[in-house]
A and B are shown apart, each in its own frame.
Chain A
């Protein structure tokens, strides 16, 4: 545990990718099996433990700390596991911490009712840094700035291999990955990826920058709408179908209807996962309801039907199409789709255009239909893993803005817990039965300001508080915030009837009188109709 704690601690404060990689490789080279395999699991897919982590932590702390102090501390630190590691009562003498693989072994063998006791005994034997690392290990997502891909890259480095070699076998492996390390270190065979439909690293786009335009010839590019869903890869082989997120996470469990649609296929395809009702793409919020579920209720399947809009074909009938130019792959995709016609799928249309100006004009029209932006794909480019420069571009529309009035402020968490940093703002509407105006809250923003602006806002809030309830202060409606957001949608859950997507403070309008802020009608006018 000590070596693992040290590497995790170092990773959490090391900024550079090279520095992180060096720390990880050194750890993987020196740590024994099976400890290093469990550590690798923690940094990639998570340990195969079923632990009600939050409940166990809150039960353990309920016996050891005052609830008010725990809450204040948690708000300050901004992370529950770290708070527990710091507040855990110090044992009279601290023993050496247990070995990582022993702890994992105990937890794997334990009944659910025994888990809390095991966790408490480990915490008693650790110092603060080890407690933190241990809780990150069993808690699922260590969030130390190490992607699964970086961890796999560190493994690949042990044997001078490329990360894609590791990724191609990854889904055939299980922690603690003994066969993987044997293969990488040259003492064992390559693990057989078998007939498991494995994840193929995706090709990603760069935002198009002003400086890119002069170098781009419209004839070299195909254009597609950028859909407001999530990017997925569907991999089907021998009746087994997997749906992978952009980062290679297996999200198949949440989308059984897509799996059955591909049950007879032998392909790997790239597309956008959406919720579509009667041919209309629903708001992103609807898709979010479907994510992060291990199983799906029938009602959810009926009310939030999933749909896959395909735009690329990587493999078909065992043939690797990735070296082909985009234009050829697109033809293969169209042929395959016309032949197989899998349910719940369609193709992302190619938008014909002669010039980028024409394309922009088309897009302006589509904006009314909720289109998030455009994708530009170089016709001659192969399907290249990662984010290679100059092949795929995303062209997003500028954010929308509204002038809103600050209504409430709440203390932040983490470094901001001494400042008021969460802002609820509203717009004007006529009060029912009178011709006076009243404010109605339309959203909440936590970002978009500098530290200096945050301190000014904090000062304004303290000086203009009308009421305090717990961590929240109501303030006089005097300050206008120009709020930027990606979209506004109808929402039954909000008093105003609308909800903003990604609102953030664009500018603080100290100069603007609050009466001149925007109205609810102006807000409603920005609602996108569902995409066609």
Chain B
């Protein structure tokens, strides 16, 4: 933990919290014009106007609303606003799945829709034999046991409760669950407490995600709501929204996969409810 007063506290400079806050308060005494709401001059279509309603954030309410019940309405009265402007997402599940699938394709995510659990198993076995997995990691003992039976020739290890980072770095793949999948952006949302830590999904060269259709949510708004409903104000300390395999365009803006993180991201979405 952080060295505190009983050790060498004096080595740390004190910081300027009050000075900075004082400067901020002084600066904010003059209100800023709302330049972003300025009427846009548009001679080309004189009728044109930005809709003025709903744009101001109703932040007037207190910030203690988290104490209230964690229902959608109580948490964020202004939620619907963002949705009005963002890319539209189908309401129904098949629509969400097909949006997710098409985005996965652009992202070069290997997306597999499996109607049943047994099909998902064979997909995993196929991946394991194609890539000749020797060692893989997963996030829990339970999954470790299940995966060991599915993949008999692979050494399955778990990051729970501890693991060696050097060993993880040499693993062939990682297989994890996720908090949710996000249709609007084709993303996977993982958290460190639920999905095996901070590095499991980024260190090995291939990250495989197993998810059920019920975990597919519409957009980021829904994903954050899901987290806030699941954890209340006690959110996991590390959340990552993963959109496609690791990528870079730093050399001549040409897309290359696998810059530092996984070169490959596979998402296996299972339509069936879990076996009891």
Q: Real complex partners, A and B?
A: no
Residue positions of A touching B, CB distance < 8 A: none
